[in-house]
Structure 1
Amino acid sequence: MGGVTTMAMARVTGRRRRPELAAFLRSRRARVTPADVGMPPGLRRRTPGLRREEVAQLSGVGVTWYTWLEQGRPINASAQVLDAVARTLRLDQSEREHLYQLARVPYAPDREADTHAVDAEVQGIVDALDPHPAVVYNARYDILTANAAYRDLFDLQVLRDIGVRNVLWMLFAVPEPDCPLVFRDVELPVMVATLRGAYGRHVGEPAWESFVRRLSAASPYFAELWSSGDVVPPGPRVKTFRHEAVGEIRMTSVSLSIDGMPDCRIVVYTPDDEESRDRTAALRKLRPSQEIPPS
């Protein structure tokens, strides 16, 4: 019974998406003039925008196929064809993603260049979260920025010696007794499974393939976990850290998405109990701490 209901809902959703897709394509086509794409205006043009046959020609698709797409008919569209239509219609990233959603095609934004920095607004938010440790990671766990409280927690000499601004390198490259995670065999598999969940969007990208290859060579344990193929999404967890100055600290970690940075997240840590709160406060009294060195 549940399967029948799900199928019925899918059919209804499909019927609603098709008119939305048709209206969206017509509105985007109407705003692109022949001059925008280097075409003569022609005679007897009833609308200021491109004609359907012009969009089809510029996108390298058949006129009939594009007409059916714009009419909202139930036809299959590939990512390559949608990309061509998006370029012709001069869609920005948000419009392109919307087109994919309406056409029910998995969306994969262009990630050839990884994000390596955050803007002043995000930096201000991260700093304002102090005294809670906060950090901005990309999907590969590179540290893009962090606040002073985060550095209080992770500013350990053994981690500084690694000289790489990446949490996975920090955690896998140190000997197990020096790892700041207390329950290493529980936490690290979750982190690697989270990494693999993001990897699906980056398969074949040189930066990602190199990262996985180098860390696998540096850490047999990482290589073992990676080969398991486990996948999980980011989510809240209670983690226990050890710090040489104050002892164990139990923290709840929560991931927050960032508008305009779809592959990045702010991770905020809050003490899970009173003892951990006191020890976090004790760390603040030990400031100033040194920055984690850039890679």
Structure 2
Amino acid sequence: MNEQQRRAELSEFLRTRRARLTPQQVGMPLTRRRRTPGLRREEVAERAGVSTAWYTYLEQGRDVHVSKSVLESIANALQLTRDERIHLSWLADQPLPPEPPPFVEAISPAYQRTLDLMEWSPAYITGRRTDILGWNKAASTVFGDFVMIPEEERNMLWLLFTESAFRQRFPARETFALETLSSFRATASQYLGDPRITAFLDRLRQASPEFCLAWEQQDVQRQCSQWREIEHPLVGRLTLEIASFQISGDPDLKCCVYSAAPGSETEEKLRGLLGFQKDDVGEQDSLLSKALMRR
């Protein structure tokens, strides 16, 4: 991200955080109808202990220096979350490498073997821009066959913000999409100037008005839901717990593993569904039949 892009991102982030706050949320008295949604710039400046002109310059994306203490005061004034504070610090302090790392992403055979060993847990690994780089058979069975998805669309953001079959399996698809986008923004801020990411985001804007609206909100959140519900065409509703891991040596790669609570109806359905693909046909047919009967 170059200097101009960084200041533009900082400007939009501050503006959207200010617009979402009401005077009542910060302890201000009720007044007559306001034309400005959220707080006014002068109100944020007063709460942060800086001049209105200086804060206006900062929000307009002008070239002004921000100290750590002043940045903390602004974060307090805007009631930012921990993740939003990290994002604000990144945008304001410019801890940027001179050149973005080369955009070549792949997982090693060892990681793919690890995914394959998780026979009863759907799992996949995503990259810097949420491309799905590896998955196991359980993931293809539960979420749909990733092999059948064109490589340029095999991406979590793309699948969740376009009318894909993958998206349709999640009853709370909008929440899942917004969480994925907020997580992406929190971890990929330093790469937003990468031309491959820029081109991908431009293509997604053209394909999804929903994405355009969500992107403009500037929301940042590292922690996503720990449970996800899936509507499978064969066995119906599955409720799965999510465990996410960053891969050692490459923090841009993230592994997501889904599992069923022991003894749950979902566990029975999942084992029946996945067991149907094993060699022991008699036992698996029985498991699948039980799962289908419980649907």
TM-score range, shorter chain: 0.5 to 0.7
Change (3 A) 1:115 1:233: farther
Equivalent residue runs for 1:175-190 within 5 Å? 179-190=168-179
8 Å CA contact 1:238, 1:272 repeated in 2:
no
User: Quick check: 1:246 aligned with 2:206?
Assistant: no
Unaligned runs of 5+ in 2: 1-92, 279-295
8 Å CA contact 2:143, 2:166 repeated in 1:
no
User: Quick check: 1:284 aligned with 2:274?
Assistant: yes
Query: SS state of the match for residue 226, structure 1?
Result: helix
State how far apart, in whole Å, the 2-side matches of 1:115 and 1:191 are. Answer: 21
Query: SS state of the match for residue 251, structure 2?
Result: coil
Amino acid at match of 2:248: D
Partner of 1:63: none
8 Å CA contact 2:159, 2:166 repeated in 1:
no
State how far apart, in whole Å, the 1-side matches of 2:249 and 2:222 are. Answer: 20
Change (3 A) 1:272 1:174: farther
Q: Which residue of 255, 275, 283 corresponds with 2:265?
A: 275
Change (3 A) 1:111 1:251: farther
8 Å CA contact 1:136, 1:145 repeated in 2:
yes
Change (3 A) 1:175 1:143: closer
State how far apart, in whole Å, the 1-side matches of 2:207 and 2:94 are. Answer: 38
User: Quick check: 1:138 aligned with 2:134?
Assistant: no
Change (3 A) 1:161 1:263: closer
Partner of 1:31: none
Equivalent residue runs for 1:113-124 within 5 Å? 113-124=102-113
Larger CA Rg, structure 1 vs 2: 1
State how far apart, in whole Å, the 1-side matches of 2:98 and 2:119 are. Answer: 32
TM-score (norm 1): 0.56
8 Å CA contact 2:144, 2:166 repeated in 1:
no
State how far apart, in whole Å, the 2-side matches of 1:130 and 1:141 are. Answer: 23
Equivalent residue runs for 1:149-188 within 5 Å? 149-155=138-144, 160=148, 164-174=153-163, 179-188=168-177
TM-score (norm 2): 0.56
Amino acid at match of 2:128: A
Alignment RMSD, CA only?
A: 2.8
Q: Offset at 1:282?
A: 2.2
Q: Which region of structure 1 is more displaced relative to structure 2, 169-178 or 278-287? A: 169-178
User: Quick check: 1:192 aligned with 2:145?
Assistant: no
Change (3 A) 1:265 1:115: farther
Partner of 2:284: none
Query: SS state of the match for residue 107, structure 2?
Result: coil
Partner of 1:208: 197
8 Å CA contact 1:193, 1:232 repeated in 2:
yes
State how far apart, in whole Å, the 1-side matches of 2:237 and 2:113 are. Answer: 29
Partner of 1:20: none
Deviations 1:36-95 (A, max 9, x none): xxxxxxxxxxxxxxxxxxxxxxxxxxxxxxxxxxxxxxxxxxxxxxxxxxxxxxxxxxxx
State how far apart, in whole Å, the 2-side matches of 1:173 and 1:117 are. Answer: 24
Q: Offset at 1:160?
A: 3.7
Amino acid at match of 2:137: A
State how far apart, in whole Å, the 2-side matches of 1:232 and 1:119 are. Answer: 28
Partner of 1:258: 247
User: Quick check: 1:230 aligned with 2:224?
Assistant: no
Count of residues paired in the alignment: 184
Equivalent residue runs for 1:78-157 within 5 Å? 106=95, 108=97, 111-155=100-144
Q: Offset at 1:129?
A: 2.1
8 Å CA contact 1:180, 1:242 repeated in 2:
yes
8 Å CA contact 1:239, 1:251 repeated in 2:
yes
Amino acid at match of 1:232: Q
Give the ranges of 4+ consecutive aligned residues of structure 1 lying more than 2 Å apart after TM superposition.
104-116, 159-164, 175-178, 285-288
8 Å CA contact 2:229, 2:238 repeated in 1:
yes
Change (3 A) 1:263 1:156: closer
Change (3 A) 1:132 1:226: same
Identity across the alignment (%): 25
Change (3 A) 1:115 1:126: farther
